[in-house]
Structure 1
């Protein structure tokens, strides 16, 4: 369904429902109608099969007809960059994405998706949120925004380059037109990368036509899952982040209207989805490097790559200067990095 048709029909349906309510007979309290939500994910169809569809299918089954969530893929109803406003308006009810991509009007949005070198492994993300205070900071930030509730964060895959030409030095990044995330793109531009924004579904064609030189949007698991390994040739093993930090969001009125047992069920389904992705990506990142057969692995020497990591910490300080809350997050990230280094193997090598 086209987005314009969807919005138009949603408006007509609302008017029809209002008219029907004026003449409908009283319904007995025991005859409760099914709660219906529309949830849009950041992911295209092939990727959504792993990162969210199992969760939604399980939730709908467990809800036993009390609630049904209709799942929509990337840009299917609303462009990703407009998802936050669409939730506020109630055009859609919930979102799975990252704060950065959906244009969330909170200062901490900059830390979502791939904040450079904030994580080394996927377990870093839930650890930071649940044991280092990021959860409370996100709750505070979203309490200042009307209409949207932040429900929780989870970890996805790392951020590596998949390219048409090999990357073997930092200089090879110069001039490369790369599909990536907003904050990650701003950081990579320091090394000559040209960030490109496209609808997710257009990326594969853009790689085939040469409009894009590569992507810095995922790890190798997604490259194979969604078909990008078919239109790129090389995969850089160095990454700028060990895990994408994504979240779930909902229209506040719709969330608060849910009975407590359905809120609990949805939270449990989020936890289940977060767990599935931890092991699916951990399996896939090693499996496709060793047995994928389509992408040639390249690497930038550690000593040279260290210059990129050092630049990231300068970037952190610039972000910290944007607001007191950002400064608090950066202080936590620095404490975490220091703790992991002191802990040594297997936390840091």
Structure 2
């Protein structure tokens, strides 16, 4: 009896021991993880900020509440243009920003957001995920300690707000303009004095006359920021941003420490939140533009002379950078080969359809 009782107890003990040994393994596969996330944006730009909020919420839901990312608006932990350094040195584990803000570190970062006369939203997505773009850009970010993820796009942007009409290239000379990244380099060749200014400082600078013009995104954000109150001429298209991809930066060591399922959650959530950003702008820009015009904005297209000069200046800058930087040229060659191959197809299908339908709708209203 004593022997049977001992074996019974021993057996139960073995089962309990096995369960105890298994428990840490189960817990380890779904650990409780808390990250900090910064962003270049604030609630003043709801489309962009809400995308970061949605990303954090989705990651939490996808991991049954075990992976929590606390979002800090611009300035609470990190300055607006400090996201790259903060993520790279792990001051925060991740951040939302636009890579062309870091043009001064390396002009090639602009390919992760937008370059003059570049790709539209769908073309950019295709290059990133199917055309080798993401692989090339991850190589670029790796020395900075960052794993980059596309997290949405604003779509084609507007050409900005101007105090005076732009009738020719001559009207650009001496113009002090808030713009970012590659656009500033190209515009400077045409006489513009570019200024990179954080979002919260743009309106005061325009109101006080420190700026003659400003480009930001498009109707939704521009209306919120109130540019129409101090500069009435609203130009299109923003040839420097045929689309503008927003990015999620993740510290590479922090990312490597995540379970595979959590890494997958980051990938899935960044894509889904990114879709939200595109949809938000597409849904809200039309009505926002109508309200801006009703409030006195004068909508105008850039003259062909200005567009042609801008393209020429862009090509000149591209050549200079390619000649002196093999790393830039490697990404440029891939990006532009993709552009030159896909744009003719879009012109046949998407472009012809959009142009016809737009003209038909305009004719119907007359």
Q: Does the TM-score normalized on the shorter chain lie above 0.5?
A: yes
1:235 maps to 234
Query: 1:35: which partner in 2?
Result: 33
Superimposed CA distance per residue, residues 161-220 of structure 1 (whole angstroms, 9 cap, x where no aligned partner): 122333333322222221111322111111111111323211121122112222123222
Structure 2 unaligned blocks of 5 or more: 1-22, 353-366
Give the 3-state SS of the residue equivalent to 1:249 in structure 2: strand
Q: 1:184 to 1:255 in 2, by over 3 A?
A: same
Name the structure 1 match of 2:60.
60
1:106–1:142 Cα contact (<8 Å) kept: no
Contact map agreement 1:151 1:249 (CA 8 A) in 2: yes
**Mapping 1:187-198, distance limit 5 Å:** 187-198=186-197
CA deviation profile, 1:25-44 (whole Å, cap 9, x unmatched): xxx94598731111112222
Larger radius of gyration: 2
Change beyond 3 A, Cα 1:182–1:303: closer
Q: CA deviation at 1:139?
A: 2.0
**TM-score in terms of structure 1 length:** 0.82
User: Which residue is 1:19 aligned to?
Assistant: none
Is residue 2:211 matched to residue 1:225?
no
Secondary structure of 2:238's partner? strand
Matches within 5 A, 1:104-143: 108-119=108-119, 121-143=120-142
Q: How does 1:263-274 map to 2 (within 5 A)?
A: 263-274=263-274
| Closer, same or farther: CA 55–135 of 1 in aligned 2, 3 Å | same
- TM-score, normalised to structure 2's length? 0.78
Establish whether residue 345 from structure 1 lines up as the match of residue 348 from structure 2: yes
Q: CA RMSD in A?
A: 2.6
The answer to whether the Cα contact below 8 Å between 2:160 and 2:215 also exists between their aligned partners in 1 is yes
**Judging changes above 3 Å, is the alpha-carbon distance between structure 1 residues 187 and 103 closer, same or farther for their aligned structure 2 residues?**
closer
- Distance between the aligned counterparts of 1:304 and 1:108, measured in 2? 25
| Aligned: 1:207 with 2:206 | yes
Figure out how many residues of one structure are paired with residues of the other and give that number: 320
Q: Are the counterparts in 1 of residues 168 and 305 from structure 2 also a CA contact under 8 Å?
A: no
Cα distance in 2 between the residues matched to 1:102 and 1:136: 19
Q: Distance in 1 between matches of 2:83 and 2:170?
A: 36
Q: Extract unaligned runs of 5+ from structure 1.
A: 1-27
Quick one: structure 1 residues 309 and 104, their matched pair in 2 at CA, closer, same or farther if it must change by over 3 Å?
Answer: closer
Report if the CA contact (8 A) 1:155-1:245 is conserved.
yes
Structure with the larger helix share: 2
1:87 corresponds to = 87
